[in-house]
Amino acid sequence: MKNKFSTIDSCKHWAAEAGPGYPEAVSRWLDHVRDTDTDIKAFAFIDTEKVKERASLNVGAGRGERLRGVPIGIKNNICVRGALTTCCSEMLREFRPVYDAHVVERLEREGALIVEGLNMDEFAFGSSCETSSFGYTRNPWDISRIPGGSSGGAAAAVASGSIPASLGSDTGGSIRQPAAMCGVVGLKPTYGRVSRYGLIAFASSLDQIGPITRNVSDSALMLEIISGYDKRDSTSVDLEVGKFTENLDRDIKGLRMGVPEEYFTGGISPGVRSRVEEAISVMEGLGAEVTRVSLPHTRYAVSCYYVVGPAEASSNLARFDGAHYGYRSGKPGDTTDMYFNSRDEGFGDESKRRVLLGTYSLSSGYYGKYYLKAQKVRTRITEDFLAAFEKCDCLVTPTTPTTAFGIGEKTRDPLEMYMSDVFTSPANLAGIPAISLPCGTAENDMPVGLQLMAAPFREDTLIKAAHAFERNTEHHKRYPLSGKDPGGQDVEG
């Protein structure tokens, strides 16, 4: 394929040039995806006939133009009407929603071609994209390594050049962590900025949908499109959506950037530390005022997250019992046996682990000791952030303590796997916006992510700072395939 699928603009040009032949161009693009995805498995599946059907309806006709004809990948826990939406679990293997998620409606309104089926950790439970019932996803930079999770397929698809943009969900870092490990941009909006209507819930007080793209400007555009009040989501905030794309190309002279000492711990790898410190120096050279700050309760964040998250997951997954929809065991027995067998056969090991952890922390005698205490710690973590934002405009940290690790390396040690969320989960607990963008490669030639966090609903600050760094560095122009655009052309701009 000579057409580029690395950015939204280049893909819009491809769609426009196709003209009346757009459906045939989409068919060829699907062949391109199959070719590039053979070893990576960013997609759990693609319903090619449905995608072709959408293309044949002259995608975007009578609608907006901002995504006219652009294929957008959808993580498989976001509902697409009539399409398999499985959360990559046996429990929902045959589930087809009868409605579109709010974000899907917004994308289609702007002319996007929706492509469902991006691979993910089962029910978003994971940090490596290894728990999917459809098999694991590989990192395009090194197929012996994981892409991160749980939105591993969304990040890998963008990194490999299959699609220019995707939507993921972020509960404890599931957009930013895979974006960092795959060398792309991942943005988690403020909790309430983007409607969760149509997102199959993991932890309802933490989940947020956001974009994964090749560059910051595409993330800004995607965020503009999917943001906004939705009365169908009781946590959606009725706040005017700004023009995030207008914050591009602004300088950051005088921007106050805080560096939290707790994010530069002994567990961070030397390569990650070096690239992030170099990135901070770049920001300082662009006129940012860099200062050291402290977030003292950060050390409790992972423990807090792995009490609150599983507790809410245990409650949310109680609906999957084999009685109404989803997997039902064929083993004989009474109603209790049916419930037990359906859940035992329908859920994978990590899902069972999270449900058991959550049920335990909510059970009589342990609610106050674990869940209630975790909520108090969560308040302290939020207060730390709000105090820091009185002194600075945004915080700068590593996204992950290490680069992508090997497939199978941590699957037998859940606690070590959970530590992958150490730098990302605090933003979810506090509900603040955060972005990860590439800032170079470590000594093993794997991507390193730079994380920026801002006060609630200050995505404009994040985008301004991120784009300033991006346009003064070359990191976002590097591709897994020898620095070339996977479409076969050199990367421009």
φ and ψ at residue 73, rounded to 5 degrees: -80, 145
Distance, in Å, from the CA atom of 413 to the CA atom of 403, rounded to the nearest integer, reads 18
Sheet holding 289-293, edge to edge: 113-118, 71-75, 165-170, 208-213, 185-188, 434-441, 447-454, 394-398, 256-260, 289-293
User: Which is the catalytic residue, given 166, 174, 219, 236?
Assistant: 174
Length of the chain: 493
Helices (H), 146-215: 152-160, 176-182
Pairing relation of β-strands 208-213 and 256-260? Answer: unpaired
Question: Which DSSP symbol is given to 420?
Answer: G
**Which are the contacts of 160, defined by CB distance < 8 A and separation ≥ 6?**
36, 37, 40, 42, 140, 480, 486
Distance, in Å, from the CA atom of 337 to the CA atom of 340, rounded to the nearest integer, reads 5
Distance, in Å, from the CA atom of 175 to the CA atom of 435, rounded to the nearest integer, reads 9
127 catalytic per annotation: no
75 catalytic per annotation: yes
CA 160, 166, 171, 172 dihedral sign is positive
Going by C-alpha positions, the residue among 382, 390, 388, 381 that lies closest to residue 292 is 388
162 catalytic per annotation: no
Q: How far is CA 440 from the centre of its chain?
A: 20
Structural contact between residues 214 and 184, judged by C-beta atoms closer than 8 angstroms: yes
**Which are the contacts of 79, defined by CB distance < 8 A and separation ≥ 6?**
85, 97, 99, 100, 101, 104, 198, 199, 200
Structural contact between residues 158 and 167, judged by C-beta atoms closer than 8 angstroms: no
Structural contact between residues 297 and 183, judged by C-beta atoms closer than 8 angstroms: no
User: Which is the catalytic residue, given 6, 89, 133, 150?
Assistant: 150
Distance, in Å, from the CA atom of 258 to the CA atom of 454, rounded to the nearest integer, reads 10
If you compute the radius of gyration of the chain from its CA atoms, what whole number of angstroms results? 21
Distance, in Å, from the CA atom of 487 to the CA atom of 489, rounded to the nearest integer, reads 6
Active site residue ranges: 75, 150, 174
